[in-house]
Amino acid sequence: MKKWAYFMMTSFTASGFAQELIEPATTMNTGEFQAQIAVIYTENSEFRFRESVLTYNNTLLLYGIFPHMELRLGIDVNSSETTDGGARIGDRTSGTTPLQIGAKYRFFQQTESTPEISVMSHVFLPLTASSDNKPNYTGYDLWVLGLHQINDQHAVRVNIGAATGGDSRGILPLYILAHNWLPFGKWGLNTEVYGEFPSNESSKHFFDVGISYFFRPTVQLDLNAGRGINNNQSILASMRLTYTII
């Protein structure tokens, strides 16, 4: 599998059912297994108020079941709190999130005239969520993933999707745009813009930048930092370790 298949970038939207990294259109090969484990911190600030969320076990497992298709299983463990001028308001919430079960299928491999294109979808089951994180409805999402590898060093990724469920039955459109650059053999740099379009409020857009290091072709470390563009997200920071068994 090419290194681009592993070069991913952490990303976050305000939706509880948005994916948490920009997805490559590439799928795992048959019999390949990948584990991703991350620590994620986000903070939203407005006047004296601050809401912080620490996800200290963001786990995603992938397995290639046959050519061009992979199965996906994910869950988070997090804690959050809200403060007013430094004093905590209410209790700190914590626990597991809904179980994420899904699949990705690659329809087209990149050619000189067309990008690589895949479709990915998940269901988010409330049965595994702790009382603090239990949503009102089962969640679903659907994504179209595109990858255009310009050359050996540069690639552009696009994820366009929609999610529903959680605390609302409305449909939430989502997008992620990213540029990946591999200037050296073991180092990667990335930039990203992403966002969502709620039906009952203004659209929200975010950006982040990051660096990736490949210990070997199957082990990757990603460090990312970012913030909101037109909203109250003041900090986003993450560290993700990816390990693949070929």
Q: List, for residues 12-53, the tens digit of each pLDDT value.
A: 343 444 445 688 899 999 999 999 999 999 999 988 899 999
Q: What is the pLDDT of residue 77?
A: 94
Question: Quick one: pLDDT band at residue 162, thresholds 50, 70, 90?
Answer: very high
Q: By percentage, how much of the chain surpasses pLDDT 90?
A: 68
Question: Quick one: pLDDT band at residue 5, thresholds 50, 70, 90?
Answer: very low
* pLDDT greater at residue 132 or residue 212: 212
* pLDDT greater at residue 228 or residue 92: 228
Full DSSP string of the chain: --GGGT--EE---SSTTS-SEEPPS--PPTT-EEEEEEEEEEEEEETTEEEEEEEEEEEEEEEEEETTEEEEEEEEEEEEEEEETTEEEEEEEEEEPPEEEEEEEEEE---SSS-EEEEEEEEEEGGGS-TTT--SEEEEEEEEEEEEE-SSSEEEEEEEEEEEEETEEEEEEEEEEEEEE--SSSEEEEEEEEEE--SSS--EEEEEEEEEEEEETTEEEEEEEEEESSSSEEEEEEEEEEEEE-
pLDDT in tens, 92-101: 889 999 999 9
Q: Find all residues with CB under 8 Å of 14, minimum gap 6, and list them.
A: 196, 204, 231, 233
pLDDT in tens, 50-98: 999 999 899 999 999 999 999 999 999 999 999 988 788 878 889 999 9
Whole-structure pTM value: 0.88
What token pair was written down for 92? Answer: 């700190």
Tell me: pLDDT of 245 over 50. yes
What is the pLDDT of the chain when averaged over all its residues?
88
Structural domains of the chain, with CATH: 3-245 (2.40.160.40)
Give the separation between CA 208 and CA 2, rounded to whole angstroms.
24
